[in-house]
Homo-oligomer: A and B are copies of this chain.
């Protein structure tokens, strides 16, 4: 079976495995206070082009989300997000479990916009009984979104400005950030994210690492005591050096970007094939996640050989599926899939 259902099917990039092997018997102090983590942090600061960034390594995305949000918000505040946002739908209420509401806004292809945010905040404070409602304290967006779509630099800048104007933090979930950054046509760079957000994270789990997310804190108010929060929420890895090794490797010699490009190149091949075949898409996603709407009979045939995620029943005869490529996807498997699609 060849798997395309998600982008965390394999282990790690061989260079990471090598680095883990070669440092395996080095002795390092715990909790990411070791030299390798220091080096990795320096590389990331350089990549985001900001020396004042605080970089923390966490194990996973839900952990990163709940830790950042619990650290940033006061008890009566919530996080504004798309109604399709990961914190709203796929984290078992992790944010609510820290006491904060994920306040959802209607989204289009996974995205929300500055105007919606401004309206929500204005309506909140304009209501006579505003104290009876959760105060919006932060905006959470994903880039790429859960539907593989991307914000433009203009959209991101507007959201950032609105957040500053309305007194909200801006937090960007970058679980698949590498893929977003390497998508042709995007005008958003790593340093834009550092410039426009209060905090964001660079996903490793889905982009070449065994696991790990690098949380980058830009706003000084959010830097204070963040390590306490990591520990309290169970995210302080004893052998923190493992995260250091992985991110050091990813941010050496552009590896993070190169392997992201690999995934994007392969998804482009599949996308083109689907377009040629006139197969419609649930969402026009330019990144490594594709959401074609497939005829059920054809899908049954494909499933004998491949795995996909089932995304939505579109009608009695059609199903939207998710096809993911990743840093680890083999071109030969993509070519085989394309041949099978063409033969349909």
Residue positions of A touching B, CB distance < 8 A: 1-3, 5-6, 8-12, 14, 17, 20-21, 23-31, 59-63, 66-67, 70-71, 74-76, 78, 89-94, 96-102, 128-129, 131-135, 205-206, 210-211, 225, 227-239, 241-242, 307, 310, 328
Contact residues in B for A8 (Cβ distance below 8 Å): 30, 238-239
Chain B residues with CB under 8 A of A328: 25
Query: In angstroms, how far is the closest chain B Cβ from the Cβ of A223?
Result: 13
Q: Which residues of B contact A206 (CB under 8 A)?
A: 238
A92 touches B132 (CB 8 A): yes
B225 near A76 with CB under 8 A, answer yes
Closest to A9 in B: B27
A11 near B234 with CB under 8 A, answer no
Question: Are A234 and B63 CB-contacts (below 8 A) given A17-B21, A21-B17, A92-B133?
Answer: yes
Looking at chain A's contact residues, the main secondary structure is loop
**Contact partner of A231 among B24, B132, B307, CB < 8 A?**
B132
The 7 closest A-B pairs by CB, nearest first: A63-B234, A11-B24, A76-B228, A92-B232, A93-B134, A9-B27, A92-B231
Residues on B with C-beta less than 8 A from A93 are 76, 78, 99-101, 134, 232
Are A30 and B6 interface neighbours, CB within 8 A?
Answer: yes
List 8 extra interface pairs beyond A25-B328, A128-B310, A132-B231, CB under 8 A: A10-B26, A20-B210, A60-B236, A75-B232, A76-B92, A89-B133, A101-B102, A205-B239
Identify the closest chain B residue to A59 (Cβ): B59
Please state if B233 and A94 are interface contacts (CB–CB under 8 Å).
Answer: yes
Selected from B70, B89, B98, B238, the residue in CB contact (under 8 A) with A205 is B238
Instruction: State A292–B62 Cα separation when bound (angstroms).
Output: 42
Complexed CA–CA distance, A110 and B75 (Å): 28
Residues from chain B with Cβ under 8 Å of A232 in the complex:
75-76, 91-94, 97
Q: Please, how many angstroms separate the alpha-carbon atoms of A25 and B23 in the complex?
A: 21
Task: Among A2, A31, A102, A234, find the residue whose CB has the most chain B CB atoms closer than 10 A.
Answer: A234
Residue of B whose beta carbon sits closest to that of A70: B75
Q: Which residues of B contact A27 (CB under 8 A)?
A: 1-3, 9-10
